[in-house]
Chains A and B, each alone.
Chain A
């Protein structure tokens, strides 16, 4: 497969209001793409549309993932086919144990691929190894999904889950917000360990800082539902220097 994800003229919105106004983006194996943009430009909407959240209506264009029509697939199928979304605002699910939930997800993946499910012992070994990589304490594992976690802990839990599920396409929505520099480095280390020749990353961020640690191959600037500029990692630095006003003016011009 020479493309993982192909987004063509994607338009989407809520209740008749258009948020994404024609997005084109191709992610090939081994590539990391960054999407930067001001608040409210549609970054999260794009990530949610890719995951199949039913609050958003796709009004135009298409998305092909691994040769299949992504928009025809249900949310859990997308996940089973290898898409992972690290949420900007991960929710708390009281009463559902972190490890129990993750084991269900992991085994659902294995089953989907025709592999044997792993037992609790083997799974715990895997989880402990990944938790160590992300310096994620054992007590987090015992707790309910995100319950009582700080903002930063929630973000770290997302990447921990991502490390366990090892996706083909990882979409990270502002994983850096709410993380201090040390936590950011740990998260970046975890993400970089997952990058391979055959998978792809879509890293959404508001700040350039994250991209010092997760170095992208391409940077796209999203303004008001459109990609107004694309370039290499230099674009992120330029954006940092000149500010979003600059691209907004570019977009208006």
Chain B
């Protein structure tokens, strides 16, 4: 692909281019009693105040404090607006204005909805959440050596302290307003633990189905204990055409010498809103990889953050987003190199058709202690229409002197030379465009380690691309 480099806002050229920790313990967790400015309470704070005692009243004190801290922090920050630097290109006004009520029960979902969401080759642990609530009837649970899977609210109130030790520690409620809101509102979700020294081959699949136009805040905690290895897939789907708001947070603790792969697949319908945070923290000699496959949602914002908190660790963050119509897909990444001798590799590819928009913002911090850091960030956009647009911004903050940091952003159209070559062999122009677009997507899909998952994603992306207006 050809295109320009490091530009901020890139539209298809008219002529084809040659290319946390909580400091607060509230007796009551109502936001109304927390110290907050004079701003009038917004719909989300009012909703929280209304349900807090009834829904969260039974939580242990530490958890209520976590929620209270979240809503207090949110009250201070307010709902994100494009005036905040982190939200400049992604206007969440439609989410604020929709002011969806928190879902209070699972809607109707069927076995067929679940079957459509399943991944071949993953059949041992498939946990299904409908409108944010765990559905035992639709889920599959099996005992797997080295693996512990629990409902997060059950584990949180259990006595072993694991959840308490991690929850809100990886992704603190002080991150940004939506993380604060998620910390307050979450009701259900999963705890996945890869036990020390154990390798779990088959990924655990979490399926989130939305059936109603409500707000859900699922929460997932993944703990890869010392020397363990495992993989988690989270997929988000809309059953029917209700425009739900999923405001999810996944915390991943990758302890010393552990390896964790996380794959997120966003397939919600094009009237839904999705704001998700995937926050990982790595110990020494650890490896983490995130794949964000983002196709659905009217507005989708993925915050993917990783902290390299031990030496000799690597984080690989990969993403593929495909937008059409008036979809917007935003990836914001923060790679925090806190310790020496760590590597990070980011590869994000976007494919945009019609009037859709892509946003990529990649922040890399290299702290004073993080000598010998090797950080690479690549963001490429393929625009299939003249009206599509990508806003892209690298942000490097380097406080160590012996580091290697590279970043590159290119946005362009399909490569004319390659199209010509394919056509010269008899491939029709539409098919040629599809082949090249699929190849561009494939560069990201091929990074997924678990074979059956990779093949599954490849197949549905292929079919999905067939339906892109520019490739039909």
Contact = CB atoms under 8 A, between A and B. Distances in A.
Chains A and B form a bound pair: yes
The residue among B420, B431, B436, B442 with the most chain A CB atoms within 10 A of its own CB is: B420
Contacts of A90: 421
B418 interface: yes
A80 B422 CA distance: 12
Interface in B99-135: none
Contacts of B421: 87, 90-91, 93, 145
Interface string B422-438: 11111111011001101
Interface stretch (A71-79, A180-188, A195-203, A220-228): A71-79
Interface in A142-180: 144-145, 161, 165
A189 interface: no
B439 A75 contact: no
Contact of B440 (A78, A79, A80, A95): A95
A161 B425 contact: yes
Given A105-B426, A105-B427, A165-B425, A75 B420 contact: yes
Contacts of A95: 436, 438-440, 442-443
Contact of A91 (B418, B425, B431): B418
Contact of A96 (B423, B426, B428, B436): B436
B425 A105 contact: yes
B429 A96 contact: no
B417 interface: yes
A93 B426 contact: no
B320 to A, nearest CB: 12
Interface in B419-472: 420-429, 431-432, 435-436, 438-440, 442-443
Interface residues of B, number: 21
B85 to A, nearest CB: 35
Contacts, number: 70
A51 B427 contact: no
Contacts of A51: 424
Interface string A50-94: 010110000000000000000000111011100011010011011
Chain A interface extent, by class:
20 to 34
A109 interface: yes
A144 B431 CA distance: 17
Interface in A96-115: 96, 101-102, 104-105, 108-109, 112
A129 to B, nearest CB: 19
Contacts of A74: 423, 429
A96 B420 contact: no
A76 B423 contact: yes
A80 B426 contact: yes
Contacts of A78: 424
Contact of A79 (B426, B436, B438): B426
A112 B425 contact: no
Contacts of B431: 104, 108
A77 to B, nearest CB: 8
Contact of A76 (B418, B429, B440): B429
Interface string B42-63: 0000000000000000000000
B420 A109 contact: no
Contacts of B417: 91
A149 B423 CA distance: 21
Interface of A: 51, 53-54, 74-76, 78-80, 84-85, 87, 90-91, 93-96, 101-102, 104-105, 108-109, 112, 144-145, 161, 165
Given A76-B432, A165-B426, 18 more contacts: A74-B423, A76-B424, A84-B425, A87-B421, A87-B424, A91-B417, A93-B436, A95-B440, A95-B442, A101-B427, A104-B427, A105-B422, A105-B427, A108-B426, A108-B428, A108-B431, A109-B426, A112-B426
Minimum-distance CB pairs A-B, first 4: A95-B439, A79-B426, A105-B425, A75-B423
